[in-house]
A and B are shown apart, each in its own frame.
Chain A
Amino acid sequence: MYYQAKKVVIIIVLHAFLLSVALSCIFPFLWMINVSFKDQKEFNSDYGLKFPRRLNWDNYKEVILKEGFWRYFLNSIFYTFITVLLIVLVSSLSAYSFSRLQFPGKNVIFYMFLTAMMIPLPAGFVPVYILLKQLHLLNRTGYVLAMTNMGLSLSIYLLKTFFDQLPRDLEDAARIDGCNKLRIWWHVGLPLVAPALAVVVIFNALNVWNEFVLASLMFTNDNLMPLQVGLMEFSNRMVTQHTLIMAALTVAALPIILLYVRMQQQFVKGLTAGALVG
């Protein structure tokens, strides 16, 4: 009886602790969404701590249509999509080759990719920026290529180790049926590594979507800016318009939160993969 009671108390204390931390994670976002439905006058009187009198979509209309957030949003989707597509194609091609095919210098080149993953380059954006400026590749092309490179090493490593664990029977069968290597990669290899590809896609998509430093340096044209840079510019311009900033933040954060809650397993896998192989 005594042990029972002690156990119950411990569980209650534990949940109180965990719940309070969880609340600290959720509360600011609830507040953010709450404020985004208020007008500035209402916000000034209650600081967003009361529910809005009515669902007021004006802030969203202003942010998305007038302030061009639809454009930032589409830009971000575009860069993310192209970069992830490039990374998947390029990294799976080379991972397949590193795992299955023979050529001289294979191991040296593979270890080069591995080392690149482990050396921290805190100012890596300096030479990349200068290079792209000299090549006149600032803005879109340069940004997509530089971001592709950022995800490449890890993706190659993940896919190569996944390929290594797979049996070769299917590929042998395809070869006997007269498939060339490129078609084996596309028709047999890629479908087989689909689970690892999911991790690669999520890891890189979030990486590109959330990237700020390079984007803020590279985009000289306001119409081409991705969401994070747009957010930063917008909040610098609108310092005192709290409700508008909160609507903008909601527009930027809510899709990611919803996507994450729906696919949380893959998100956790995708994001920790980067940490655990390093």
Chain B
Amino acid sequence: MNLAVKEKTVNFSFIIPALFIFTIFWVYPFFYTFILSFQENDLISPPQFIGWSNFKVVFTSPDWWSSMYNGAFITFWALTFQNILAFMLALGVDKIIRLRKFYRIVFFILPVLSEIIIGLLMKQFLAGEPIGRDVLNHLLHNIGLGFMTESWLGTERVRLITALVHCWKGFGWAFVILLAGLQSIPEQLYEAARIDGASAWQCFIRITFPLLMPVITLVVVLTILGTMQAFAMILALTGGAGGLTTVPVMVIYDHLRHNIAGLAAAEGLILGIILVIVSFTMFFISKKIREKYGVLSS
């Protein structure tokens, strides 16, 4: 008996370091966020309980909702442009034999590099001084596309360009995941369909698409989660552009920087809850679709 207890204690001791770090840096902060969001806390004077008023402030704050709008705008572009591009690239690379490895290496360089590097590089590339004759415009001039020159990071274009740079940085991710999904579809299915006289389009709609549904859902959810929490790249690229490209995490970060911690926690909580709801809904919808079309889950 005593021996058994001793053994279990020894076994348990193996997870103590992990549990220790996890409790301090995940469990405690997780619950502390809830408490914090009901407090007025400037990190100096003792915190005060103020009920729901942080949430009221957040819900009625135009800055917060415009940042949510900007986040949603970038997410929209990431979901459509980025993921469709990634899907087309994955289909293409799946078909060819030559240079496959080369493309895989090149497309994944951007996700490997840090957001700060990408943001700063593209800032120089798109909007290096002096304004109006920056690098991309100069390049367009040189290759005879002078009519396309723009003030890329000027007030009119900045939101769209930020979204596109985000897509540019992120498509490699979706590409790699979708390509792995495509390559896991057994070749025999296509052969059988071809013998039955199916066209390439029918093969795509009846085989590729339904079998890829779980992977596509995964990519969609990851895109939403990743893009709504985007921050560092946009900070480096535009610094917010006077509210035009302020994203939610940027608002939270600024509030924390200005020692308005309670408000920051409330905002984080609201965004977190929205994201949890979105990802669960997506998985639920994709499960329904799979049940309807009778495709077994992978």
Instruction: Give me the interface of A with B, judged by CB distance under 8 Å.
Output: 11, 14-15, 17-18, 21-22, 24-26, 28-29, 31-32, 35, 47-49, 89-91, 93-94, 96-98, 101-104, 109, 112-113, 116, 119-131, 133, 145-146, 148-149, 152-153, 156, 181, 185, 206, 209-210, 212-213, 217, 228, 231-232, 235, 239-240, 242, 245-246, 249, 252-253, 256-257, 260-261, 264, 267-268, 271-272, 275-276, 278
Contact = CB atoms under 8 A, between A and B. Distances in A.
B193 interface: no
B272 A121 contact: yes
Most A CB atoms within 10 A — which of B25, B32, B269? B25
A103 B267 CA distance: 39
Given A123-B252, A126-B256, 20 more contacts: A17-B92, A22-B103, A26-B106, A49-B139, A101-B14, A102-B8, A113-B22, A121-B268, A122-B249, A127-B30, A131-B29, A131-B32, A149-B26, A213-B249, A213-B253, A228-B116, A245-B120, A245-B124, A257-B112, A271-B108
A29 B22 CA distance: 39
A121 B266 CA distance: 12
Given A101-B14, A126-B256, A212-B232, A264 B25 contact: no
B112 to A, nearest CB: 5
Contacts of A242: 124, 128-129
Contacts of A26: 106, 109
Nearest to B129: A240
B17 A93 contact: yes
Contacts of B276: 119-120
Contacts of B112: 206, 256-257, 260, 267, 271
Given A217-B256, A245-B120, A181 B272 contact: no
A112 to B, nearest CB: 8
Given A101-B14, A122-B268, A122-B272, A49 B113 contact: no
B268 A181 contact: no
B41 to A, nearest CB: 8
A149 B96 contact: no
B36 interface: yes
**Which 5 pairs from chain A and chain B are nearest by CB?**
A123-B268, A97-B14, A149-B25, A127-B29, A210-B114
B29 A128 contact: yes
Most B CB atoms within 10 A — which of A21, A252, A260? A21
A90 B113 CA distance: 27
A127 B28 contact: yes
Contacts of A116: 22, 26
Contacts of A93: 14-15, 17-18
A120 B19 contact: no
A18 B89 contact: yes
A146 B26 CA distance: 9
Contacts of B30: 119, 121, 127
Contact of A146 (B25, B117, B120): B25
A110 to B, nearest CB: 9
Given A109-B19, A272-B176, A231 B120 contact: yes
B121 A28 contact: yes
Nearest to B180: A272
B21 A152 contact: yes
Contacts of A235: 120, 123, 236
A13 B43 CA distance: 60
